[in-house]
Structure 1
Amino acid sequence: MDSKNFRFKYASGLGPFAISTPIRLLGVIALILAVCSNGGCLASQMRATSNRPVNASMTVFARASIEQHSMDSVCLFPCTSPPEMAAASKGITVAFQTRLVQRRPFREIRTLPYEVKSDSEALWYARNEGCTLAMCPSLLYMMDGTGAMTTELTVRTRILDARTGQVLWDLKQIGRSQPGYDIDLTWNTITGEPAQRCLVIADCLAQRFAEYLVGPLEKEK
């Protein structure tokens, strides 16, 4: 047996089996390669899901008493946006519809397919459909990527009284999510969690909007 690579120590009874330094180094290298192949050493590899938080803010320009409108029926129009952001509009509309139906601040929530470009157009459709309120969300700003950079949405939502044309609610919401920091271990980089994507942020804003509307009603219970 090669004395450079192995040596044996024997004492009375069972003795330890020792491996020399060159063999130990080969074992460490093999272990590192195994960890890299199983865990993924590529810093560019992003996880499919993320636990990163969404920071949301809300600015209220106009606010009505929900107690006076809880028996109203609201027509929700598709979210409007600049052409370059149109891909996100449908997801925002669906998110608001879903959350409003769950929390039910109004007696009825109806989604209309008409893309309105003015208050007068929204009021005309709402009255024609038998709704007492018209809800018009609009996407003002969007920044979305792979999750490696900050994701941000700015949505403004207005609810009009179809009977009088008065603006009852007017709110601007901003949702933002940032990726986690990478951890450099010299021999490997643990990639930080990716930022939440636009659909997750849209759902967060819609949930907060619905909770904002229904909050006063729940306090009365």
Structure 2
Amino acid sequence: MHYLEPNEKFPPITEADEQGLLAIGGDLSISRLIYAYNHGIFPWYDASQPLLWWSPDPRMVLFPEKLKVSKSMKQLLRKKKFTVSFNTHFNAVIEACAQIRRDGQHGTWITREMIASYNSLHKLNIAQSVEVWENGDLVGGLYGIYLKDKNVFCGESMFTRVSNASKYGFITLVNKLKEEGVKLIDCQVYTRHLESLGAEEIPRDEFLSYLGFSS
């Protein structure tokens, strides 16, 4: 396993292990994060671990035109059950994502250092958020990294306080990104929930081709 010094470059993606772990250590500097996402690498760790960098093979992605919307969700969208905004409360969204307790996780992987770094990326219009509102209350949302020059959006995390709120926001975002010409949404790793929305696994080499790189 490769251990990164603070200013050291990432090793070749082909050095990632079977789980997709590429490197340990380094930092969450803006330049490193931008480089990482543009090369198919993302950080994922919790406060008890060192900084871990991943590039899994296969990669979970959603092609916008393959989005699956259930009948019940179509009804909620027609009724305009929630109000959706974009990039108005980024810090509130990432803080909420950090606070949500998830099955199989003993703590959050969204550390204070990560929140600070992604807020800096948001100020550069690279990290973006989706807010879902009900009666003036923030009831769901998600955030991710928008690689506009590559027509790729990298989803990071979502939260919900009301049933279907985050899914409502995600579907609204996908439709918006489709209109903007986005070709692929990076979902990183497999979950049954993402699969139910139309996401699928593709080889890492195919994913990297959308970023303009190969392993």
State the TM-score, normalized to the length of structure 2.
0.24
Larger Cα-atom Rg: 1
